[in-house]
Structure 1
Amino acid sequence: MNKFTNSPARLFRAWASQLLVLALVIFSGQSAFALQGANGAHDPSTIVKRNGVYHVWTTGNQIYHITSTDLVNWTVAPTVFAAGTFPGWINSYVPGFQGNFWAPECVLRNGVYYMYYSCSLGGRQCAIGLATSPDLSTWTDQGMVVYSDNVSPWGSIDPAIFTDANGRLWMAFGSHLNGNYLIELDPATGKRLNTTIQNIAGASPYCENEASYMMQHGGYYYLFYNKGICCAGVTSTY
């Protein structure tokens, strides 16, 4: 995203991937491959593999999309929404929105791909929406999942989806304001299950928390999130 910069699974996944590559390089004695082609990606989604092709969606107009068959050479692919279009409901929650989506996240459940996306102009009014697809090519918008108005203590951006040990589906989200939040999702629809919303990581004094990601390991749940200032070159603190 821009002002808030997301990485949902994002920075954690990126760091984990980089550490894995570094370990492989160190212990194998081989050089890492330099990415080729359309390799610019801000706030990348989870990498999704279908029929031998790897897919990544990123911040960008109509939800930017790149693909690769080898994880090295990347090609621009069709966006989720057609050029110049976006779901009409968004302007009711984010006035002035023009189709530049932030921090998408894609997950596969029961043969259906669920694409969660952020709609924001960098202010308090923002929303997370959902689109679904059977094949990663044709997408049907399912509308709003959660939104923020001018008095909401949470920011509705940076969605990250996970399933707990009991099979319940959750979405961690939020940036700045009062920190990161959690809502439960209906496993049948992927939409919000109830009105309960939990604050899971309070904001720092500078309200920098964003792009949370949750995972379970060894009987514990782990919450990762980003904080600091991004996109400022060597002066970044992200």
Structure 2
Amino acid sequence: MLRHKLSCILTGLAGLLGSAARAQNPIITNQFTADPTARVFNGRVYVYPSHDIRAAPGRGRAGWFVMEDYHVFSSANLTDWTDHGVIVTQNKVPWVKPDSYSMWAPDCTYRNGKYYFYFPTTPKDTTSSKGFTIGVAVADKPTGPFVPQPLPIKGVRGIDPNVFIDQDGQAYLYWSQGNIYGAKLKENMLELASEPVTLGELPTQGLKEGPYVFKRNATYYLTYPHVANKTERLEYATSTSPLGPFKVQGVIMDESPTGCWTNHHSILPFKNQWYLFYHHNDLSPAFDKNRSVRIDSLFFEPDGAIRKVVPTLRGVGLTDARQKIQLDRYSQLSPGGASVAFLDTANKFQGWKTVFNGSQGWVRYNGVAFGTKPLRTVTMRVTAAAGATVQIRVDGASGPVLAQVTVPKGSRWQEVKAPLSTFKPGTHTLVVSAKTTMPVEIDWVKFD
């Protein structure tokens, strides 16, 4: 028992200490995360994702989604993320089948001084509750501790809970199970206040799931993943009422170009900008049941239509020049001259490297904040078997040269430091290029 408790404590500390400052996609790289619901509480963004893990003997179904608990992550700037650890786990919820490993997509909202965390999973009593049911855990803080209710919500069968509170104070619960359903919630946020209704006028062919509802101006937006072809794309419909009928308007994000079968999302405004939180299998390209959360900016047309979001590796937010800048999460890459590969294919959580194939290789990385205090050196984690010269510029290929870095010969990674020849305060685009014909690989760059 003591060994088990110590293991749990160390695991929790690893989650907290392993939270890297990330401005790039995916935003979490020390574990798999999926199905992100993002909320703003007290000026800070909290992300409540599901937590993919690998199947093992007696631990989930091989080749399928395996999830036993939930973490919560938070950030004040969408760049630096903190893992607050496990908030709900399957073996500590009274009504959950403890070996189901089916803690799927959750949501969280705030009401009357309490935080309500909604999650779907398999109940112990499968005779009277076939399939998934949805439960609630309640906390005084957005990071918990969350106390699960003894029973799931009566009258709800399905997955992917989403809660929307309208301006008049009425709360609604949405979920999916073949169709997408909605119902009013009571003031206590724990019981339905109306019979579930099927949200109509949506596509009848292909899987629909993962509803996320928000209101902008006088329009209610119902957003959802839909398999129109082979994999899920994100679509949306609009209405003048929170329970519809809804009219399908278009696609928010196209199908994954690499075949990730699922996508699941949330949308919110933060500091005068709208954002789309979604997932992809970046850290597990050969197995799309292990996903990772991404963020990209989202924009509306003047008529209220959602402009289609094109996924990026760069993501959102500014990167502090004093932090490790991951060039592999680039804004633009020279075609044929540079590429991205895993640092260690046996441990993909270590992330990626940028491989420059010769003097035509370059990478552009937007949004580096240099601040106002002069920086004097650049450090680069780099390897080049035959040696190399790397040039760093700002504001384009013809912009001023910050540094020319000479990389010594060697087959191992080394941290090479060089002086800056100039300094430009403010936020700039970084351009890093190889100036020799032999290959060179870069893990990260940072300035001091």
TM-score by length of structure 2 reads 0.37
Partner of 2:38: 46
Q: How many Å separate the matches in 2 of 1:90 and 1:37?
A: 29
Deviation at 1:99, TM superposition (A): 4.3
Q: What's 2:153 paired with?
A: 145
Output the CA distance in 1 between the equivalents of 2:83 and 2:260. 28
Match status 1:131 vs 2:131: no
Higher RCO, 1 vs 2 (CA within 8 Å, ≥6 residues apart): 1
The AA in structure 2 aligned to 1:186 is K
**SS at structure 1 position matched to 2:213:** strand
Q: What is the CA deviation profile of residues 189-211 of structure 1, one whole-angstrom value per residue up to 9, with x for unaligned ones?
A: 21223451100146645441111
Note the C-alpha offset of 1:76. 3.1
Partners of 1:129 and 1:146 within 8 A in 2: no
SS of the equivalent of 2:34 reads coil
User: Against the structure 1 CA distance between its residues 182 and 77, is the aligned structure 2 distance closer, same or farther, given a 3 Å change threshold?
Assistant: same
Q: Which has the larger radius of gyration?
A: 2
How far apart, in 2, do the equivalents of 1:70 and 1:39 lie?
Answer: 21
Question: Which consecutive unaligned segments of at least 5 residues does structure 2 have?
Answer: 1-21, 52-67, 124-129, 233-254, 264-448
Query: Which position in structure 2 is the counterpart of 1:90?
Result: 96
Does 2:74 match 1:67?
yes
- Residue 112 of structure 1 is aligned with which of 114, 123, 134? 114
> Matched residues in 2 for 1:215 and 1:232: separation?
24
Is 2:85 the counterpart of 1:78?
yes
Matches within 5 A, 1:198-209: 198-201=197-200, 204-209=203-208
1:138 deviates by: 1.3
Distance of 1:199 and 1:66 partners within structure 2: 32
Q: What is the rounded CA distance, in whole Å, between the counterparts of 2:145 and 2:28 in structure 1?
A: 27
Equivalent residue number for residue 303 of structure 2:
none
Structure 1 or 2: more helix by fraction: 1
In the alignment, residue 212 of structure 2 is paired with which amino acid?
Y
For residue 146 of structure 2, what is the amino acid of its counterpart? W
Write out per-residue CA displacement over residues 119-142 of structure 1, whole angstroms, 9 at most, x where no aligned residue.
Answer: 159xx6001110010022211112
Partner of 1:151: none
1:184 corresponds in structure 2 to 184
Q: Which has the higher strand share?
A: 2
* In 1, Cα distance between equivalents of 2:176 and 2:154: 10
| Partner Cα distance (1:227, 1:192) in 2 | 28
C-alpha change, 1:67 and 1:74, in structure 2 (3 Å) is same
2:80 and 2:211 map into 1 onto residues whose CA distance is 29
Q: Distance in 1 between matches of 2:93 and 2:212?
A: 26
CA 1:160–1:132 in structure 2 vs 1: closer, same or farther (change >3 Å)?
same
2:195 match: 196
Residues in 1 aligned to 2:155 and 2:103: alpha-carbon distance in whole angstroms: 14
Q: State the secondary structure of the residue aligned to 1:158.
A: strand
Residues 1:197 and 1:217: Cα distance change in structure 2 (over 3 Å) = same
Q: Is the 8 A contact 2:185 2:194 kept in 1?
A: no
Measured at CA, do residues 78 and 100 of structure 1 come closer, stay the same or move farther in structure 2, by a change above 3 Å? farther
The answer as to whether partners of 2:153 and 2:192 remain within 8 angstroms in 1 is no
Counterpart in 1 of 2:397?
none
Unaligned runs of 5+ in 1: 1-31, 149-154
* CA distance in structure 2 between the aligned counterparts of 1:132 and 1:100, rounded to whole angstroms: 20
8 A contact 1:125–1:147 mirrored in 2? no
The DSSP-based 3-state class of the residue aligned with 1:85 is helix
Cα contact 2:87–2:144 (8 A) shared by 1: yes
1:84-106, Cα deviation, whole Å (9 max, x unpaired): 62312123xxxx75344111111
Structure 1 residues 202 and 37: CA distance shift in structure 2, 3 A: same
- Number of equivalent positions: 191
Identity %: 21
The corresponding residue for 1:22 is none
> How big is the alpha-carbon RMSD for the aligned residues of Structure 1 and Structure 2?
3.3
Asked if 1:235 corresponds to 2:259, the answer is yes
8 Å CA contact 2:71–2:88 kept in 1: the answer is: no
- The letter for the 1-side match of 2:49 is T
